[in-house]
Structure 1
Amino acid sequence: MQIETLSNKYEGAAKTWWLSGLPGAGKTTLAMALADRLRAHALPVCVLDGDELRKGLSRDLGFSPADREEQSRRTAEMARLLNSNGIYAVVALVSPTISGRSLAREIVGTRRFIETHVATPLHVCQQRDPKGWYAKALNDPALQLTGFSAPYEAPVCPDCVIDTNQTALPDAINQLFSYAREFRTL
């Protein structure tokens, strides 16, 4: 008799949407709306938001390049655990480097990882500034704000690209959901 492990049972089932982009790009808004859509289809889902993770799992991390990479690694490990238990993960994380996102893809698994670049222009993110980070960065040169005073490496070949300045929220969610259906990942 063969024993079926959780990872075998759910192999190919649950996926991770990894939403990466500048602060204020709309990653969390997209993540919450996508999670609502998945729940409406009776699919189990968990949102992993960078700001929320820094309140607990990653509260010991700062914003140095090494800490940002570690934040991505920890988030990917959590997404992998969720996926292996049949739970979809929707990650809203700046994850500013190509290497950090590549490591996340490796940890989660290529077949489960849907990289989405939330490609909202910097000037739009600065206008939105929902948490006041851009205003703080203007007044504090030591503050390393991704895309402003610290680098952001845009994905080279993301699975999806969404500019929340050009795409209405329902259309963006349809695009994310359609991508998953097109490639039979739902």
Structure 2
Amino acid sequence: MMSSDSILLIESHVSYAQRKAAMMQEPRLIWLTGLSGSGKSTLALRLEHYLFCRGYKVCILDGDNIRNGLCNDLGFSEEDREENLRRVGETAKLMLDAGLIVIAAFISPYEAGRNAIRNKAGLDRFIEVYVNCTIEACVNRDVKGLYARARNGIIPDFTGISAPYEPPTAPDVVVDTVEESIDESLLKIIQFLESKVELVDRVPVMLPQ
């Protein structure tokens, strides 16, 4: 194994300020947390589409997609969940430093794990969105049958059934996908971004019909 004293960090010749100026936007990590089935991915996709159509450089990091690639060697124990989020946090920071707006949709059940991501990204670049949804509603929406398998003991350490979920103590935005429509929840997030990040109209992007 290579020792730490053999690793030499390099510094880009392009500064962070230059990247922000070139991108014409303030990089932000918009972190959506909530139970499986709460609507995180749906909201993330809608938000990405909205921002992209307004000319922003934006991308999504989604739990299932990350598990299919970058973290396909990890399970769902508490230790593996921590490593999964550590990798996501490092990836998100690289994207932020490149000037992108990053939308992340992860259950991220532990407050400590989310705070570690916040600290990695930078307090001024992290926006926490709590996608609140009752366990009953999540079970009813569960097209993959994960909750049923968890209740039958087939899936161990499943958040909300056999593993805990710690709701955020001070999220920037709270949406309730039981009481609100997706459009209403999306509008809440957009209004917060507009009040804090000063989103302005950019060159519109015409998507194919």
TM band (smaller chain): over 0.9
Q: For residues 115 and 6 of structure 1, what CA distance do their matches in structure 2 show?
A: 26
For the Cα contact (< 8 Å) 1:19–1:27, is it kept in 2?
yes
Task: Tell me, yes or no, if structure 1 residue 162 matches structure 2 residue 171.
Answer: no
TM-score (norm: length of structure 1): 0.93
Task: Tell me, yes or no, if structure 1 residue 7 matches structure 2 residue 16.
Answer: yes
Structure 2 unaligned regions, length at least 5 = 1-11, 200-209
Q: For residues 130 and 107 of structure 1, what CA distance do their matches in structure 2 show?
A: 34
The residue that corresponds to 1:24 in the other structure is: 37
TM-score (norm: length of structure 2): 0.83
Read off the aligned partner of 2:52 and give its amino acid letter: R
Pairs within 5 Å for 1:134-173 = 134-140=147-153, 143-173=156-186
The residue that corresponds to 1:66 in the other structure is: 79
Structure 1 unaligned regions, length at least 5 = none
Question: Per-residue displacement from partner, 1:153-184 (whole Å, max 9, x unpaired)?
Answer: 11000001111111111121111111011113
Q: CA deviation at 1:130?
A: 2.6
RMSD: 1.7
Partner of residue 49 from structure 2, selected from 28, 31, 36: 36
Change (3 A) 1:103 1:185: farther
Read off the aligned partner of 1:59 and give its amino acid letter: N
Question: Per-residue displacement from partner, 1:40-93 (whole Å, max 9, x unpaired)?
Answer: 111011110011100110011110111111111111111111111121111010
Q: For residues 144 and 95 of structure 2, what CA distance do their matches in structure 1 show?
A: 28
Larger deviation, residues 8-17 vs 73-82: 8-17
Identical pairs, percent: 39
Larger deviation, residues 84-93 vs 97-106: 84-93
Give the match's secondary structure for 1:172: helix
Read off the aligned partner of 2:151 and give its amino acid letter: L
Read off the aligned partner of 2:171 and give its amino acid letter: P
